[in-house]
Amino acid sequence: MRIIIEENYEDMSRTAASIVKDYVSNHPACVLGCATGTTPIGMYQGLVEAHREGKLDFSETRFFNLDEYCGLDPSNDQSYTYFMKEHLFDHINVRPEHIHLPDGMAGDIEAACRRYDAEIERSGGIDLQVVGIGINGHIGFNEPGDCFYPDTHKIALHESTIRANARFFSSIEDVPTEAITMGIRPILQSKMLLFLANGESKIDAVYGALRGPISPRLPASILQLHPNVVAVIDRSAAKRL
Ligand code: F6R
């Protein structure tokens, strides 16, 4: 694992964007695994800028997101589909058929999960996976629990996740309680994994992920088994490393 500690959020974002830029430039038809949340917003801004300057072409790149809330229509401004359009897809030359997110509105969620895994497999798997980390150590919405789930699945969001994500909604009651998340297998099988974290609230989660015992109690700790991780962390989140 390569760990890069940056001074602040802006530097973390710049470094992350340049890693993704290099990857996409060298592998234009790659499969990019995307995260949402506040952590990667600056990185996406860097990618949009590079595209606007004519330095980055996404016409062949395929995208798979880690997760989506259940029961939020894609037009809802808190859905992850909306987030991705707002921060990346509406500003780059991605082909609509190359955009994939779990279908949180599906009538048959189990079938939607199986379809998502089949689509990932048909695409040849994830090449570069970007992940953030929850304060409770989740990756995607693989929440702390008794075991790791390999496949895409529906999950009841942990109380701490609902509390953490309430900042995006008008009240905590509006936060969806369930989501669909990619499982651990495609994340671990990605060719390269870019792990991002910033801010003091992530200190313990980052320490547990990178230095703690590998345990489903802190799902991101499984990333220690990935052979090609680049972790870009700002100084405040890296304090215990
Ligand atoms: C979202 C996702 C989550 C977030 C995590 C951190 O797609 O995969 O695991 O990365 O909740 O969220 P932020 O960046 O908002 O602190």
Q: For residue 5, what pLDDT is reported?
A: 98
Using CB distances shorter than 6 Å, the residues near ligand 1 are: 35-39, 66-67, 132-134, 138-140
Count of CB atoms situated within 10 Å of the CB of 53:
8
Catalytic: which of 67, 68, 117, 127?
67
Active site residue 76: no
State the first-to-last Cα distance of the chain, in angstroms, to the nearest integer. 13
Q: For residue 167, what pLDDT is reported?
A: 92
122-168 pLDDT per residue, tens: 999 999 999 999 999 999 999 999 999 999 999 999 999 999 999 99
Catalytic: which of 65, 136, 142, 165?
136
Q: What is the DSSP code string of 78-142?
A: TSHHHHHHHHTGGGS---GGGEE---TT-SSHHHHHHHHHHHHHHTTS-SEEEE---TT--BTTB
Q: Which residues of the chain are modeled with pLDDT < 50?
A: none
> Looking at the domain covering 2-198+211-234, what would its CATH class be?
alpha beta
Q: For residue 120, what pLDDT is reported?
A: 98
- What's the whole-model pTM score? 0.98
Return the domain boundaries, the chain: 2-198+211-234
CB 36 within 8 A of CB 48: no
